[in-house]
Amino acid sequence: MSHGWVDDAVAAQAPWMDQLLAELVEAPTLLGREEPGQAIMARAFADCGLEPADVPMDAGAIRADPHHSPFSWSVAGKRNVVATWAADPAGPPGRSLILNGHVDVVPPSSVALWTAPPFTARREGDWLYGRGGGDMKAGLVAMTGTVRALRAQGVRLRGDVHLQSVVEEECTGNGTLQCLLAGAHADAAILTEPHHDHFTVAQVGVLWFHVDVRGVPAHAARASSLRHSALDAAQRVLAELSELEAELNAERGEHEYYKNVDHPINLNPGIVAGGDWTSTVPAECTLSCRLALYPGQAPADLRRRVEAAVARAAAADPFLAEHPPSVRYDGFSCEGSIVAEDEPVIVALADAYAAVHGMPPALRATTATTDARHFVRHGIPAICFGPEAEAIHGIDERVSLPSMREVARVLARFILSWCGESNDGPPATAAHRGESSHVQR
């Protein structure tokens, strides 16, 4: 069965998709401020002719799950927004699919360094600039535009397609976890993260931890004689944590997807906070750090190694030995994940990718984490594939609009094959055509 009409169907949605992306980028959906973006996504799902539904964040239910990430902030009033394109009940059942994306974004860092305000959707040629456009609002638009394009053509499917717009991917992943706790399930999941020329099949886990270090406050005039600055002490702790980072990277040869990656495990002291007066020796300093772990390792094991590193730093310093730093956890505490390269979802999506791009996709590992791990843990093969983006988490983040439409073209072909068309008989999969499926790593 030919699906040559798909490109025209997606192209017809391009203005709608571009407008939706601009609206999303101009909603500054930072942690605790996600609701304006979710309101936009609820309207977008309704524009597809679907009935949007809320999956509210439930702090008690999340914390009761052993795989949640700890959080100190309130989630009251937060929601994930979902919608289901239900299968045609008259036809034989097909395979189901979850399309997942997150609406939350990271802070814009130094606003002064941006060419234009970070939450202004600015278009230059084929690129749209703005915080969150790449990571990952264009992915949300691509997956929603795909469904809108197919439904506008009167397509009926033999398998359900579930759309999910979630919160807190950038700090805990608890939004997707909440959807799964609420009963979400499918035969496969695709997360439309900005992985444009490849499918991501392996990812690291991530641990956020915070080291609170004490000092002795004093007048700055006596600082050189006292040498009890909490900031100086924190530097000694950070040096020991850097040694742990080196140890972890030396272990990469034990992990198939990361043995040829130069530096897969990264320590990032993302926030260093301390002191309360310019002329006072800092009494306190907190290092808020991100550190990765390999698939197959448990976050609890990395916690023990972090705490041991901090203890070593304290033991080597007389003042810290008497005033030991403390370690606490708030934010990411998650394992990595791997999906087998011969999973049917990878093979079928690779066929769709090759139909659009004329070549097979690469299969890669990422040194970041995504919500894919939650699906994998629940027995749902999950991979990442989405639009091309640059400078995510950086300055002048931007996303390619043509690539957003290309992703929609790939997803549309994949959905027709994976879920099956009810109105036109069995799907034209590679097996039915007598063709082979190709992927490369």
Using the 3D structure, point to which of 334, 354, 372 is the last residue of a domain.
334
- Residue 313 located in a structural domain: yes
Residues of the chain where predicted confidence (pLDDT) is lower than 50: 425-441
E-strand ranges in 294-373 read 326-328, 333-334, 337-338, 362-366
Give the residue from 282, 277, 299, 281 showing the smallest Cα distance to 290: 299
- Residue 122 located in a structural domain: yes
pLDDT at 4: 81
- Quick one: 85 and 185 in the same domain? yes
- Residue 439 located in a structural domain: no
The answer to whether residues 399 and 387 touch, using CB atoms and an 8 Å cutoff, is yes
- Residue 438 located in a structural domain: no
224 Cβ contact list (under 8 Å, min separation 6): none
- Quick one: 296 and 391 in the same domain? no
- Total domains in the fold of the chain: 2
In this prediction the pTM is: 0.94
- Residue 76 located in a structural domain: yes
Using the 3D structure, point to which of 309, 334, 359 is the last residue of a domain.
334
CATH number at residue 166: 3.40.630.10
Separation CA 233–CA 213 (nearest Å) = 7
- Quick one: 91 and 147 in the same domain? yes
Give a three-class secondary structure readout of 186-221.
CCCEEECCCCCCEEEEEECEEEEEEEEEECCCCEHH
- Quick one: 231 and 345 in the same domain? no
pLDDT at 250: 98
- Quick one: 369 and 419 in the same domain? yes
- Residue 346 located in a structural domain: yes
- Quick one: 198 and 261 in the same domain? no
- Quick one: 63 and 149 in the same domain? yes
- DSSP label at residue 23: H
- Quick one: 355 and 325 in the same domain? no
Domain holding 137, by residue range, is 5-203+336-433
Mean residue pLDDT of the chain comes to 94
CATH number at residue 318: 3.30.70.360
- Residue 29 located in a structural domain: yes
- Quick one: 369 and 344 in the same domain? yes
- Residue 363 located in a structural domain: yes
Using the 3D structure, point to which of 289, 304, 334 is the last residue of a domain.
334
The answer to whether residues 244 and 310 touch, using CB atoms and an 8 Å cutoff, is no
- Quick one: 386 and 314 in the same domain? no
- Quick one: 171 and 282 in the same domain? no
The answer to whether residues 114 and 120 touch, using CB atoms and an 8 Å cutoff, is no
Torsion sign over Cα 256, 293, 341, 362: negative
- Quick one: 26 and 117 in the same domain? yes
Give a three-class secondary structure readout of 354-376.
HHHHCCCCEEEEECCCCCHHHHH
